[in-house]
Amino acid sequence: MIPSYEKITEFWCEVVNTIDRLLEEADESSAHQMLRHYEERLKSIDRNLTFHFERDEQGQRIEMIFGCDGYAQSIAAVLSLVDAAPTIDGVRIKAFNNRHDPLPRSIRVADEDFRMDDIWYSYRLAGGEFHLSVYLQGLDDQEQNPAVEAVMIFLDALIGEFDLMTRVATLSWYERPAEPLDFGLTPLSRLRGEFDQLRPQIDLIGVTLH
């Protein structure tokens, strides 16, 4: 589905007119209300669009990063939105979360700390499709499990959000065994190197969550 250029233009006009007030807003409630309004505007363009703010590595600019929450069918909407972005002083517009260097060793989600060293994986490459399995402790409801959210952040940092959506055919979740090495599993921190070696053999496809 081709996103509405008119809605994209309306979104950027609103951002240009309000971004300074948002970045200078000291009241957390007011800032949250403005961010929620941005989100509503984005959902009217494509229901899967997301965004967040980060400081760049030098801390000199704000990065406004757009994604589509892992839904490959919305990649075109992200690219159209970013392509139409105006120049905004002090703000850099980016599509998708890039790989991180150095890698985060731990992540806090919902007041819990998750360590990359506690997460393991295996993979299968078949017919040009890369199938990734993740093993973690305490796996229950995937949609409400903060550990799953932490793993998704780690995966963005390791291989990048775009490759995660377009080169991982399936992403499956399993309870981590007591002795991962006995089951031939690999620490998640080694995924980038293994994935990059295989990347030329992996076809571009969407991601399916199981």
For residues 17 and 88, the answer to whether their CB atoms sit within 8 Å is: no
14: nearest Cα among 47, 44, 38, 35 = 38
Core vs surface per residue 120-134: b (16+ CB within 10 A) or e: bbbeeeeeeebbbbb
- Residues near 115 by beta carbon (within 8 Å), at least 6 away in sequence: 105, 106
What is the value of pTM for the model shown? 0.75
CA distance 208 to 144: 18
Distance CA(187)–CA(121), nearest Å, equals 6
Provide DSSP, 46-111: -TT-EEEEEE-TTSSSEEEEEE-TT-GGGHHHHHHHHHTPPPBTTEEEEESPPP-SSPPSEEEETT
pLDDT score for 17: 92
Distance of alpha carbon 123 from alpha carbon 126, whole angstroms: 10
pLDDT digits (tens, 9 = 90+) for 154-209: 999 999 999 999 999 999 999 999 999 999 999 999 999 999 999 999 998 755 55
Per-domain residue ranges for the chain?
A: 5-95, 106-209
**CB of 79 closer than 8 Å to CB of 93:** no
What is the number of residues in the chain? 210
CB 97 within 8 A of CB 67: yes
> How far is the C-alpha of 168 from the C-alpha of 141, rounded, in Å?
22
For 39-53, 86-100, 104-118, 128-142, which range has the lowest pLDDT when averaged over its residues? Answer: 128-142
Sequence-distant contacts of 8-12: CB under 8 A, at least 24 apart: 8/45, 8/80, 8/81, 8/84, 9/84, 10/41, 11/38, 11/41, 11/42, 11/45, 11/81, 12/84, 12/85, 12/86
Decide if pLDDT at 95 tops 70: yes
Average pLDDT estimate for 43-72: 84
